[in-house]
Chain A
Amino acid sequence: MPLYPPRPDKVYFFGTCIIDAIFPRAGLSAIRLLEREGITVLFPRSQSCCGQPAFNSGFPDEARQVARRQLYTFNRDYPIVVPSGSCAGMMKHHYAELFAGDRDEERALRFSGRVFELGQFLTDVLKIRLTDHGNPMKVTWHSSCHAMREMGVIKNAKALLAQLANVQLTQLEREYECCGFGGTFAVKHPLISSAMVRDKIDDIVQTGAKRVISGDCGCLLHIRGALDQCGLDVETQHLAEFLWERTNG
């Protein structure tokens, strides 16, 4: 399987459960970005969750049950585009472990081979060109740990932002540091989680940016929650929604 396939006609879109329930507009923006490039986007209705929450929390059987659903839902040979480094990382790098020795091991490996994070797909497969129709603004970017370390797609997101002529991107001082979400960690260790996100928020505030963009809604949910609790006037937005908003004229 080549690293980046040539431009396909059709792709699957995996919405992720957090986008599905809490940030559906981000998902819709991503679908629209893809459709605008002339791609037919398929949204299989029986999709749900990548299984990561259970996988990380000590419940691999339950994770496998849910992951198996996705294996059968996205069963054709189309690329699977995922608007989250975390979920993409789970499906690309951990399904092999989850299905090792399982009857669906082959299927899982083929599935993993078709997974792309959204930003990665836009830059490396579609070679998207973006025209910025928005007013000048300053934003900052939050790298999710899995987008950075598992998927290595931060450079793709930044390349997309760099194409927006009126957007000034300021860097966080500790961009590499985890925001403290960590899935169930956020509720199992709220104090540490909070300490981490408070530092992240201080970092965001010191950039002077009024909006923080990220490719991962888990982080955004967590950062948003903390910003609100501190009463801070900073917006949070998913990369897809931001790109659509800026380029949709």
Chain B
Amino acid sequence: MAKPARFDFKKNIARALKDRQLRKNLRSAMDGLRVKRQDVFDDARELEELRGYGNAVKERALSRLPRLLEQLEQKCTQNGIQVHWAETTDEANHIVLEILQRHKATRLVKGKSMVSEEMHLNQFLARHGIEALETDLGEFIIQLDGETPSHIIVPAVHKNKDQIARTFHAKIPGAPYTEDVEALNRIARATLRKKFQAGHAGLSGVNFAVAETGTLCLVENEGNGRMCTTVPPVHIAVMGIEKVVEKLEEIPPLLRLLTGSATGQRITTYFNMITSPRKPGEKDGPLEVHLILLDNGRSRIYADPQLRQTLYCIRCGTCLNHCPVYTRLGGHAYGFLYPGPIGKILMPQLKGLSAAGDLAMASTLCNACEEVCPVRIPIPTLIRRVRNESYDASGSAVIPGHGYRRNLMEIMAWRAWALANSHPVINRLIFKLAGRIGHLLPAIGPLKAWTQVRSRPQFAPKSLHQLAREKGVPNG
């Protein structure tokens, strides 16, 4: 599923904003998630302590990332987990393929994994005759419809039950048309249960990897993750290299931050901590466990101390839930895998600015995301950094594609603005002029965009400077 070099963001936005059903679904879902989060973090002081801790743990873990990855690899290998490294998603896909082919596996059951979406794994495997079946209910629903997830945690949030009812009835053999949520769940359960038994291999993501013990930690509510990582004889875990933490004792607060922020839960139904494949004497569990460590641009992000903070992300999705722009657009409009505030800083860095830099412009910098990020990523500051680099063609910018937005008109406009605002005489002149003829300005450029949806601003006949002088307010 190759993306065109410049996706039509404006068109996506227009379409999303016109979709009343989508806006209604999103508004209701985001409200619910926000309230749940507030309820579960009812002690404000405790929450701030937790967030401070989360930020500190991530900062330290990342400052020692290569050593922790080496330790993780060593411990995992000691315990029988085979560790692979992939620089690109292409390499990661081939590693998965090689493992599956070695086991003559043609059916892969998947737990929810955003990294596997980054890899476009399902499509890749399909080209090689391997069926990859999503078992997380939300992912299952969108897979039936051939869609991509529209939210990091609740991938089918944009759909309502009659849409799902239609999908199930059309795509699942024997499924009746029903909008009853319990009935829909039962249909999914019955369909997927058969698939778990028949799967040749299982794939999962990793929420946290502990270097100290070589443990892969997974959160889930449905039980499909446990199914995928226990029933088939082979388990493949895919993970971004930034997910490693140092010690087991760091997990409880991070877990609390993740489940509380993502779904407003104190804890998910299951918290799964995997340290090895089936040991001698044990009667179940995969005979082989593989861990694929994926770079895909993360080591480049890592190289810049400020941008490195992007990698603190624990993929909770709460920034999306609090973003007034995401609430109105939904994930698909963003055109890239990770939408919302985190997407605005991550995608331009992963895909390059000329491909995804436009995402960072779609923000009012309202700071709602920063206020709730469980690991205190300074998202608005990083959005501004992405914007700065979008216009900076010089060697001091680091993100690939930097300077892509550089254009003479904007440069001249801001230089003129700077000139007018750093020279009081010019400043006074302009304000006098604006007061006199502001209303006559033709609606072009910014004024056209403004008046598209608002009435014209009216410049005051006398500026505050003039009034202050007239009223005798001292200069100082």
Chain A residues at the B interface, C-beta cutoff of 8 Å: 10, 12-13, 15, 17, 19-25, 27-28, 31, 40-46, 48-49, 51, 53-60, 62-63, 65-66, 68-69, 76, 78, 97, 145-146, 149-150, 176-178, 180-197, 221-222, 224-226, 228-229
Contact = CB atoms under 8 A, between A and B. Distances in A.
A192 B328 contact: yes
A41 B472 CA distance: 10
Nearest to A40: B474
Contact of B464 (A28, A40, A44, A66): A28
The 8 nearest A-B residue pairs measured at CB: A42-B476, A182-B364, A225-B454, A194-B453, A228-B455, A58-B387, A178-B366, A24-B464
Contacts of B417: 53-54, 62, 66
B325 interface: yes
Contact of A45 (B329, B390, B422, B465): B465
A149 B324 CA distance: 15
A225 B366 contact: no
Contacts of A27: 464, 467-468
Interface stretch (B158-166, B263-271, B286-294, B444-452): B444-452
B473 interface: yes
A31 B474 CA distance: 11
Given A31-B473, A57-B414, A187-B449, A194 B464 contact: no
Of the listed residues B364, B449, B450, B462, the one surrounded by the most CB atoms of chain A closer than 10 A to its CB is B364
B63 interface: no
B361 A149 contact: no
Given A21-B459, A190-B450, A182 B464 contact: no
Contacts of A28: 464, 467-468, 471
Given A58-B384, A59-B391, A65 B463 contact: no
Nearest to B416: A62
A191 B453 contact: yes
Contact of A43 (B370, B371, B384, B474): B474
Place the interface of chain B in its size category. Answer: 35 or more
A149 B475 contact: no
B468 A31 contact: yes
A129 B476 CA distance: 27
A20 B463 contact: yes
Contacts of B434: 21
A190 B459 CA distance: 21
Q: Is the interface of A mostly helix, strand, loop or mixed?
A: helix
Given A42-B474, A178-B366, A188-B361, A24 B455 contact: no
A119 to B, nearest CB: 18
B405 interface: yes
A221 B438 CA distance: 15
A225 B476 contact: no
B475 to A, nearest CB: 5
A145 B463 contact: no
Nearest to B430: A21
B328 A196 contact: yes
B476 A191 contact: no
A226 B324 contact: no
B328 A195 contact: yes
A58 B388 contact: yes
Interface string B295-319: 0000000000000000000000000
A22 B457 contact: yes
Contacts of A187: 446, 449-450
Given A188-B449, A192-B325, A196-B328, 17 more contacts: A21-B463, A28-B464, A31-B471, A44-B476, A54-B418, A57-B414, A59-B391, A60-B388, A62-B414, A62-B418, A145-B365, A150-B367, A185-B363, A185-B365, A187-B446, A189-B361, A221-B457
B449 A48 contact: no
A177 B324 contact: yes
Given A48-B422, A62-B417, A187-B449, A145 B361 contact: no
B364 A181 contact: yes
Contacts of A13: 473
B460 interface: yes
B368 interface: yes
Nearest to A45: B475
Nearest to B14: A191
A63 B473 CA distance: 28
A147 B367 CA distance: 11
Nearest to B428: A45
B362 interface: yes
14 contacts: A20-B431, A22-B460, A41-B473, A44-B476, A45-B468, A58-B387, A59-B391, A65-B422, A177-B368, A186-B450, A189-B13, A192-B325, A197-B454, A224-B455
Contacts of B463: 20-21, 24
B414 A59 contact: yes
Interface string B322-341: 00110011000000000000
Interface in B407-435: 410, 414-415, 417-418, 420-422, 424, 427, 431, 434-435
A58 B449 contact: no
Contacts of B324: 177-178, 180, 196
A48 B428 CA distance: 9
B82 interface: no
Contacts of A58: 384, 387-392, 405
Contacts of B427: 48
Nearest to A185: B364
